[in-house]
Amino acid sequence: MKILVIDDEKNICLTLQGILEDEKYEVACAVSAREGVKTFDDFEPDVLLLDVKLQDANGIEILDGVMKSDHPIPVIMISGNSSISDAVKAIKIGAFDFLEKPLSLPKVKIAVKKAVEFRQMSLQMSQFREQYAKDWYMVGESRIMQELQQVINRVAPSNAKILITGESGTGKELIARAIHGRSPRFNNPFIKFNSAAIPRELVESELFGYEKGAFTGAIKNKRGKLEEADGGTLFLDEIGDMDLAAQAKILRVIQEGEFERVGSNRTHYIDVRIIAATNKDLEELVATGAFREDLFYRLNVVPVVSPPLRERKEDLPLLIDYFSKAMAVEMKTTVKSFSPEALTYMQNLSYPGNVRELKNLVERIYLLCDRRVITPADLEACSCISQTGSKSDDSSFWNETLPFVDKKHAFESRYLSIQLKLHGNSVSKTAEALGLQQSNLSRKLHDLGIL
């Protein structure tokens, strides 16, 4: 780590340089504000030790400039005869610490060590933010996506409840993570709870946690998703599938910020932001009594619509390119490109599964196609879908009436051919994955004419 010392007393600079270099830091010194500013730009320090009173400038003003820069760093202010007001002002601006002359060298080393640790944590957090943004990047430049991004930017800094609606596969979780990632809660947990993926009898115990002995198998206390999300964001996916009993308890959490674990009377207080999502019409569920009206209005403070892919077809080339590069990295292979005809072909598909279906199609192409440049013929072969986008090959396969023996033969040929390709044409790996004896699989492949 690099330390810059700016102090117009040369002896102090040399002393600090000596003790800090003994601690294995890389140190640069400057004896004036002008020299210090130039060295700061050239040296790019991780921590700055700065005198409050310099002959050619006010150290407080330099501190203010560092804190307002694009890449602020920890600044330790040094003072010989400054007032308490100077110290308070420095801390308010953002100074990491404030040391008085004559300097205590042990205190200097401790202050610098803490500042360095803080800097390392800041860098790690910055890298984490970049990786988070990369993993949950929202691809698209269409008008509808630009409007969605504007909505996210406006609602993210608040604690308002959000209800995200949209078809399956449109990226509702992506929107929820984007809201969390741009909010003040970013450094705290983002916890996902999928109501549709958990049996109804387990929803409350998973969501609220439980006490030891609350039911058979509860051998110890367990925190629920709500407690895990304390201070952060709880994403209630497929909220339309939540049963009425759990809905009533979630309503209380939203209204009062409190709940009890299953099997306990002790009240827990939490601070959590609720973002819910559904692919169902909640107003229709309210009308039929399947969803609480009061909960609907509590959640629907800011409605956000996740657009289907058919409404933003102009984003398809960007999405295809993004998924293609991501698959190449994941599979450690060369990036495949798509011919203009292939892109036109893909833009004519209907994608009932939306972006998720498109991603799966690109992944399937990487698994099953060896070509570097993808053509419409490759898409026909790999995707099992027709030019109109309907899954005609699949439907015709299952709807076609043939003698059972003939259909069984066709199914085995198609299924085992695909599985063999998925496992690198390795019979042993395919057999292991399918739970078959290698000898039996090999014989079957020969009988089917695959090998």
Rounded Cα distance, 53 and 64, in Å: 14
Domain that holds residue 417: 401-448
Domain boundary pick from 396, 411, 436: 396
Domain count, the chain: 4
> How confident is residue 276, by pLDDT bands cut at 50, 70 and 90?
very high
Residue 151 has pLDDT above 90, yes or no: yes
CATH of the domain at 346: 1.10.8.60
Question: Which spans in 102-171 are helix H?
Answer: 105-135, 143-155
Average pLDDT over all residues of the chain: 87
Do 339 and 429 have their domain in common? no
The reply to whether 342 falls in a domain is yes
Do 151 and 299 have their domain in common? yes
CATH of the domain at 14: 3.40.50.2300
Do 77 and 10 have their domain in common? yes
Rounded Cα distance, 251 and 135, in Å: 32
The reply to whether 103 falls in a domain is yes
SS3 266: coil
What is the pLDDT, as a whole number, of residue 394?
Answer: 54
DSSP-assigned states of every residue in 364-420: HHHHH---SEE-HHHHHHHH---TTSS-HHHHHHHH----HHHHHHHHHHHHHHHHH
Do 121 and 167 have their domain in common? no
The reply to whether 140 falls in a domain is no
What is the pLDDT, as a whole number, of residue 414?
Answer: 76
The reply to whether 23 falls in a domain is yes
Domain boundary pick from 305, 333, 367: 305
The reply to whether 136 falls in a domain is no
The reply to whether 137 falls in a domain is no
Rounded Cα distance, 15 and 204, in Å: 63
The reply to whether 408 falls in a domain is yes
What is the pLDDT, as a whole number, of residue 294?
Answer: 95
Rounded Cα distance, 48 and 37, in Å: 11
User: 294 or 369: whose pLDDT is higher?
Assistant: 294
Residue 138 has pLDDT above 90, yes or no: no
Lowest mean pLDDT: which of 115-124, 158-167, 215-224, 408-417? 408-417
Q: Which of 196-205, 272-281, 426-435 has the highest mean pLDDT?
A: 272-281
User: 142 or 378: whose pLDDT is higher?
Assistant: 142
Q: pLDDT for 35-91, tens place per residue?
A: 999 999 889 899 999 999 888 888 999 999 999 987 899 999 998 776 677 788 888
> CA nearest 46: which of 71, 69, 9, 63?
71
What is the pLDDT, as a whole number, of residue 31?
Answer: 94
Tell me the sheet residues that pair with 267.
Answer: 260
User: 29 or 187: whose pLDDT is higher?
Assistant: 29
Do 331 and 371 have their domain in common? yes
The reply to whether 141 falls in a domain is no
Do 183 and 168 have their domain in common? yes
Lowest mean pLDDT: which of 18-22, 112-116, 130-134? 130-134
What is the pLDDT, as a whole number, of residue 422?
Answer: 80
User: How far is residue 174 CA from its own chain's centroid?
Assistant: 8
Lowest mean pLDDT: which of 7-21, 80-94, 239-253? 80-94
Do 68 and 122 have their domain in common? yes
What is the pLDDT, as a whole number, of residue 134?
Answer: 56
Residue 273 has pLDDT above 80, yes or no: yes
Residue 26 has phi, psi (to 5 degrees) of -90, 120
Residue 440 has pLDDT above 80, yes or no: yes
Q: Report how far apart, in Å, the C-alpha atoms of 94 and of each of 61, 90, 192, 214, 325 are.
A: 12, 6, 35, 49, 41
What is the pLDDT, as a whole number, of residue 289?
Answer: 94
Do 377 and 258 have their domain in common? no
> CA nearest 4: which of 46, 32, 38?
46
The position carrying tokens 């959490």 is: 253
Do 392 and 414 have their domain in common? no
Do 124 and 158 have their domain in common? no
Question: 112, 3 in Cβ contact below 8 A?
Answer: yes
What is the pLDDT, as a whole number, of residue 393?
Answer: 47
- HEC states along 221-242? CECCHHHHCCCCEEEEECHHHC
Q: pLDDT for 342-399, tens place per residue?
A: 999 898 888 888 998 899 889 889 988 888 999 888 887 775 443 334 444 455 566 6
Q: pLDDT for 159-216, tens place per residue?
A: 999 999 999 889 999 999 999 999 999 888 999 998 877 877 788 889 999 998 888 8
Quote the crossing angle between the two packed helices 354-368 and 404-422, to the nearest 10°. 80
Question: 208, 252 in Cβ contact below 8 A?
Answer: no
Residue 94 has pLDDT above 50, yes or no: yes
> What is the average per-residue pLDDT within 318-334?
90
What is the pLDDT, as a whole number, of residue 383?
Answer: 55
| Beta strand 267-269 pairing with 258-260 | antiparallel
Question: 272, 231 in Cβ contact below 8 A?
Answer: yes
What is the pLDDT, as a whole number, of residue 39?
Answer: 93
Tell me the sheet residues that pair with 264.
Answer: none
Residue 11 has pLDDT above 90, yes or no: yes
Do 171 and 154 have their domain in common? yes
Q: Which distant-in-sequence residues (6+ apart) come within 8 Å of 60 by Cβ? A: 52, 86, 89, 90, 93
Do 109 and 54 have their domain in common? yes
What is the pLDDT, as a whole number, of residue 420?
Answer: 81
CATH of the domain at 158: 3.40.50.300
What is the pLDDT, as a whole number, of residue 392?
Answer: 43
Rounded Cα distance, 57 and 37, in Å: 11
Domain boundary pick from 264, 280, 305: 305
User: pLDDT over 70 for what percent of the chain?
Assistant: 91
What is the pLDDT, as a whole number, of residue 10?
Answer: 93
SS3 142: coil
